[in-house]
Amino acid sequence: MILTGGLKSLLPHVLRRIIRCNRLSISSTSGMAEGYKQANVVILHKCLADDFEKFCHANDGPLPLLYRSKPGEWACPSLSSDSDIRTDCLQYRIYKHGAYTGSLKSLKEYSEQLKDMVTFYLGCSFSFEKAVKNVGIPVRNVEQKCNVSMYKTTVPCYSVSPFHCNLVVTMRPVPASRLEAAVLATSGLKEAHGAPIHVGDPGLLGIQDLSKPDYGDPVHLHAGDIPVYWACGVTGVEAVINCRAPLAFTHSPGCMFITDLKNDKVTVRSSREVPQVHCISQDPLCYSIVSAEAAQKIRTLEALIGIDPGDRGIIHLHRQDELLKACLSISHARSVLITTGFPTHFAYEPPEENDGPPGALAIAAILQALEKEVAIVTDQRAMNLNKKIIEEAVQLGILERPVPLLTYQRESADSALMFLCENRNPRRPRFDHLIAIERAGMAADGNYYNARKVNIKHLIDPIDELFLAAQTIPGVTTTGVGDGGNELGMGKVKDAVKKHIKNGDVIACDIEADFTIVAGVSNWGGYAIACALYILSTCEIHDRYLRKAVGFPQLSKKMVWLSALPSVTKEEKLLKTLLRHGVRSGKTASLEMEVDGLPFYNTHSLMIEKLL
């Protein structure tokens, strides 16, 4: 028997010959023939071949097709010069009517049946191990002399009858400081599954216990390692099981076919093709991936809205990349709750100002276009006003359909939990993300203040409690948008508010959001969120990550998303609607075409044009 030492440097044709002679005492080809492509194998009756090929193309993350044989073809000339699929995998599995019936070292005894069967060679993540090592990232399963860990997920693949299954992934521990290097090293290797499809908590993929893989061996994480998941070709095995073919063969997971093809060399790429990695949640731990180009566009939006037209000192509140991280988090969300409303004009009816509602509706409009659930929570006393505004926003074409309008009152100690979660169960949140935009925020003394230090608590419902409760619910993140430091969510920058904003020592909001977006006018923050979500949705790298590399890109919906963005015409009509309902400018209480004392024309209209 030949042991494992030196196998990584042997040429593929030599390894295949050794495997063919059954002379290896190993259980996995991980780490062997470094730099050469390895392949998953699925062998099906020819009557199923066309549908399985369509299934591969529809799920090309887990199933990148390297070669499809002719019926009865045991060689694969485009992948190897001297091979026989009946003998050249370390081990095979046999399935009858979807049931696993045993493992084999050779398929020669099935040669007659194989004459009517087609072999699919599918890319494998073992192929990228050398590329990962070359950038200084340890391959933990090779270090630990074991197979890679493979897990079934709850992510459904795109079905092509009779093939359907959930995605299978490999997990590789990567040091936190090397996450972006790992993504960059693998993203260009499309035939080896490309970039990861998830980074962080396994529960977000439906994986319950990393110590109990469905295939392969458990791989130990070192201190500081983050679990990183790549789409896996064993997905094809699951599809074979579910199609219940009378007879099918696959490789045994980890026992790959080794080709003569070297890995593709990844050349210098444009910023559209270069991925960046950003942490968007600590509980559960979750990272997102976006192209460098899209990230830079969003940073440009952040800079545009960060100007200080009122010279209030908000530049000192700014934190870089909060817009990017907030919108990455929102893009992962299924259901979003928005709140707005700052009744600064306590002597008028209604007391609301016109900064906030336009930004909130801009966010709601893009969320509707992205097919996410969205609702708005507001003060009980303002329900009728907001209902009228939403109805007219639909008539004006700003919203596709009415947004559900909710209110919140504190009736017991767990009212917030009951509002946010089904049956008060933190594991079943109704919303994944909460957004407050120009919403009055509670100060350290429990009161709510406008910029002039006037306490307006009597006009405010305790919606802050929802943001406090969200901090205790895993998987629920929050964003606050403001322009003065007294808005809900601005507690994250309260020290800077107290130091740099007039009356900040009194008015500073004490309630933190996970992400704090500071804008010269809060509406601008809402417009920027809408534009940033559009940028992310049209980013191919981010789209692939969101759909876990299964199914097809969503870019065909680009025009729908584009039409949902704010425009000068839409916002002009909406501001006129607000003024007609008596909603005034925040700074001046004017019912003219202005917001926060700044004229709509040539100030707000110009900002909208710049953002677009």
Any idea of the CA torsion for 96, 98, 99, 104, to the nearest 10 degrees?
A: 60
267, part of any domain: no
- If asked whether residues 314 and 393 sit together in one domain, one would say yes
- If asked whether residues 432 and 303 sit together in one domain, one would say yes
- If asked whether residues 118 and 133 sit together in one domain, one would say no
Please give the pLDDT value at position 2: 40
Q: Which of 179, 211, 231 represents a domain boundary (last residue)?
A: 231
- If asked whether residues 316 and 377 sit together in one domain, one would say yes
d(CA 595, CA 587) in angstroms, rounded, equals: 8
Residues 550, 157 contacting (CB under 8 angstroms) = yes
- If asked whether residues 136 and 23 sit together in one domain, one would say no
Position 350, amino acid: P
- The closest of 296, 304, 324, 284 to 429, measured between CA atoms, is 284
Please give the pLDDT value at position 12: 85
Domain count along the chain: 3
For 435-452, what is each residue's pLDDT tens digit? Answer: 999 999 999 999 999 999
- If asked whether residues 543 and 569 sit together in one domain, one would say yes
Where the chain has pLDDT below 50, the residues are 1-4
Q: How many residues make up the chain in this entry?
A: 612
Please give the pLDDT value at position 294: 97
- If asked whether residues 24 and 148 sit together in one domain, one would say no
| Ranges assigned E (strand) in 211-334 | 215-216, 225-231, 248-251, 257-262, 275-282, 285-291
b/e burial code for range 234-259 (CB count within 10 A of at least 16 → b): bbbbbbbbbbebebbbbbbbbbbbbb
Please give the pLDDT value at position 24: 63
217, part of any domain: yes
Query: What does pTM read for this prediction?
Result: 0.94
For 387-399, what is each residue's pLDDT tens digit? Answer: 999 999 999 999 9
Q: Any idea what the CATH number is for the domain that residue 109 is in?
A: 3.40.1640.10
Please give the pLDDT value at position 127: 85
- If asked whether residues 86 and 202 sit together in one domain, one would say no
Distances in Å between the Cα of 566 and the Cα atoms of 28, 47, 473, 526, 570 are: 54, 52, 32, 9, 6
255, part of any domain: yes
1, part of any domain: no
- If asked whether residues 33 and 57 sit together in one domain, one would say yes
List all residues 6 or more positions away from 418 whose beta carbon is below 8 Å from its beta carbon.
Answer: 412, 424
Please give the pLDDT value at position 266: 64
Strand 405-407 to 373-378 pairing: parallel
268, part of any domain: no
Q: Any idea what the CATH number is for the domain that residue 583 is in?
A: 3.90.1640.20
Please give the pLDDT value at position 8: 67
Please give the pLDDT value at position 1: 36
d(CA 13, CA 21) in angstroms, rounded, equals: 13
Domain span including residue 116: 9-124+238-262
- If asked whether residues 246 and 224 sit together in one domain, one would say no
**SS3 assignment, position 490:** strand
d(CA 276, CA 543) in angstroms, rounded, equals: 13
- If asked whether residues 258 and 367 sit together in one domain, one would say no
For 42-65, what is each residue's pLDDT tens digit? Answer: 999 999 999 999 999 999 999 999
- If asked whether residues 211 and 244 sit together in one domain, one would say no
d(CA 430, CA 421) in angstroms, rounded, equals: 5
